Amino acid sequence: MDFVSEVSSARQLYRLICKESLHLRSVTGRVDALIRQLAMTLGLDRRKAIPNQIDSKNIGVEEFIPAFFELTEPFAQMLNNIYAVSFCC
């Protein structure tokens, strides 16, 4: 899949992330905490639809990507650690 040609806005990027099984749906538990953090980082109201707010606040891809990576960095680090342990010995 050619992500560059598919994504021209933060809203499209958010929807693509959801489509590719990196679901950011507001439910209880850990995912809800992720949604709260993403909304807070972007200055959004977590109780409202994120795609609509992304458009209304004119949040661009340039602002969305760092916020998303900041949010997912601990998971990437965890997977890195698991990979390192799995193949170290």
Is 23 a residue whose pLDDT tops 60?
no
Is the predicted pLDDT of residue 33 greater than 90, yes or no? no
Report phi then psi at 12, rounded to 5: -65, -40
Six token digits for residue 35: 């949604």
The domain in which residue 51 lies consists of 3-88
Rounded Cα distance, 58 and 20, in Å:
23
The H-or-E segment that residue 12 falls in is: helix 10-19
Q: How many domains does the chain have?
A: 1
**The predicted structure's pLDDT at residue 16:** 77
Which of the listed ranges 7-11, 14-18, 52-56, 71-75 does the model predict with the highest average pLDDT?
Answer: 52-56
Nearest to 10 by CA among 39, 47, 48: 39
More confident residue, 15 or 89: 15
Taking the model in full, what pTM does it have?
0.66
pLDDT given at position 34: 77
